[in-house]
Structure 1
Amino acid sequence: MTVILKRDALIEGWVNVTRVEMLLADGAIVERHVEDHGAGAVVLPYDPIRKVALLIRQPRAAVLISGDEPPLEAIAGRLDGLDPETCARREALEEGGVALLELESVVHLWSMPSISTERLHLFLAPYDTAMRVGPGGGCAEEHENIVAYEIPLAQLAVDAAAGRLTDAKTLILVQALQLRHAGAF
């Protein structure tokens, strides 16, 4: 049986990093570091009539450090004490300017269980042009610099098959949409 022997907070704030000492089942004691910034909700809004999905792009320091361009992403945000559905709707309005009604749960997953406590609630959500009620772009005070794009579902299917959707949560949602609502493509 594996047990945690000791925890030391290294960083506390928007993101928390803890040094953990674990006793493994084989008797070894190992050190690990764990990142924690809270659970989140992710939503892929899609218009089944116009056959498009609403995705965003925003500056991501980790991606830029690696030398890549920020990927297209499904809309996402931290729960911050909200239930997952409320959070998904809030983020969709803030980031994409779309007021969502119906949400279809896909999965509640670990994003990086090797290092992070983050669990994400993933949703699909149909929308139409009448539901585009704002500019999107994220919260100005948070300096998110988000740009929203409507991408043809056919293009997303091609990009998924070709390995060009490099954000894992987005890839999962596009593939779930293909499986559950093939007619939208």
Structure 2
Amino acid sequence: MSGSEPGHRIESVATVYEGWGRLLLATLRTPDGSQILRQVEDHGDAVGVLPYDAARGTVLLVRQSRPPLIFRGETDSVYEVLAGRIDAGEDAEATARREALEECGVALNTLALVGHFFSMPAVSTERLSLYLAPYSLADRTGAGGGLAHDHEDIEVIEMRLDELWAMGMPALADMKTAILVLALRERLAAQAWPPTG
């Protein structure tokens, strides 16, 4: 029997650590009766959103210090779309709008859902709702940068689409960002971007 066959069931779950997220140790029973242990990281669901201005040919991205990358010895931060965890009592769209204001100082109206994605299904319960969102200069209402009390220290980057395309996929080391950039490219190609005239 393979691990993908039905019949796996969780018999017990122990909380190993609880803070911003939880690290759990799940005891599973397999279809052949074996008992196995699996680690599960649980911090709730999240959103990612890529604001774009098709008229000016720009997108809003962010960069910030990421401890797991520092741990790996990576010296450069990666380009990322705006993202954040969905708070209790908040839906995905409200979270996307809140994060856009906090991180980039941009007020978003229209959100186009690209899809729901499990970021690391082997380890994490997180499901990401990913959106594309048009914006204009008039929607830039603040500096962004994240919440000071959380020490987010977010660098806001308004990048030209032609520059982004020229950098190519190697520059998009963050998966949610890569998905949304590809979705935007597909959307703009269908609309024959850049506009003529």
CA distance in 1, matches of 2:167, 2:79: 11
Of 133, 150, 155, 1:147 maps to 155
- Could you say which residue in structure 2 is the equivalent of 1:97? 105
Contact 1:49 1:184 in 2 (8 A): no
Contact 1:93 1:134 in 2 (8 A): yes
1:38-71 deviation per Cα after TM superposition (whole angstroms, max 9, x unaligned): 1111100011011111000011000111111220
Larger Rg: 2
Residue 169 (structure 1) aligned with residue 176 (structure 2): yes
CA distance in 2, matches of 1:52, 1:95: 17
Aligned-residue sequence identity (percent) comes to: 45
- Which amino acid in 1 is paired with 2:81? A
Structure 2 gaps of 5+ residues are 1-6
| Residue correspondences, number | 184
Structure 1 gaps of 5+ residues are none
CA distance in 2, matches of 1:51, 1:64: 32
CA distance in 2, matches of 1:51, 1:26: 56
Contact 1:160 1:171 in 2 (8 A): no
C-alpha displacement of 1:27: 2.8
- Could you say which residue in structure 1 is the equivalent of 2:126? 118
TM-score (norm 1): 0.95
- Could you say which residue in structure 2 is the equivalent of 1:6? 12
TM-score (norm 2): 0.90
Contact 2:79 2:171 in 1 (8 A): no
- Could you say which residue in structure 2 is the equivalent of 1:46? 52
